[in-house]
A = this chain, B = another copy of it.
Amino acid sequence: MFEFALLGLLHEAPMHGYELRKRLHDLLGAFRAFSYGSLYPTLRRLQRAGLIVEEGPEESALSWGRRARKVYKLTPEGKERFAELLADAGPQTWDDDSFGVHLAFFSRTPADVRIRILEGRRRCVEERREGLRERLTRTGEQIDRYTRELHRQGLESTEREVRWLNELIAHEQSEQDE
């Protein structure tokens, strides 16, 4: 997931860690954390896997302040790996904390995969919605006021998300028909 995001950003241009983190934060900060505690280890993992390489200290023109930063760059294997991940539409693409990341790279995702991811996400949210609905309408042991509030709010927001996903899916399909 982090892997996917990093490969995706490095696919645009070589970058160093701090910048990757900033771009990520700017792009998806409201949805995911992306702390340094994951960033650098992931970078090293990718490096060990041969998906990225560290470029030389990279003297940019003049102004040799800015020191000691390591610029990473995708290898051919890295590009291939990213293409693979882009073509994937499995459950891990639509779960709560990776769906946003995948959406952020949707314009580079194949059209059919886009639809399958959106549909997977919809099914996933619908299941949650049904769970909440069932819990709320269940007779028998009545539930705590606060828990009920939580479930009511959850139900409403899942309903909205489903509607939103329907719009996105409809848009994708209409585009496909053209």
Contact = CB atoms under 8 A, between A and B. Distances in A.
Interface of A: 26-27, 29-31, 100, 103-104, 106-107, 128, 131-132, 135, 144-147, 149-151, 153-154, 156-157, 160-161, 164, 168
Report copies per complex.
2
A26 B153 CA distance: 17
Contact of A104 (B146, B153, B164): B146
Q: Which of A27, A131, A153 lies at the interface centre, i.e. has the most chain B CB atoms within 10 A of its CB?
A: A153
Classify the interface of chain A: helix, strand, loop or mixed. helix
Contacts of A144: 104, 106-107
A150 B29 contact: no
Contact of A107 (B27, B132, B146, B153): B146
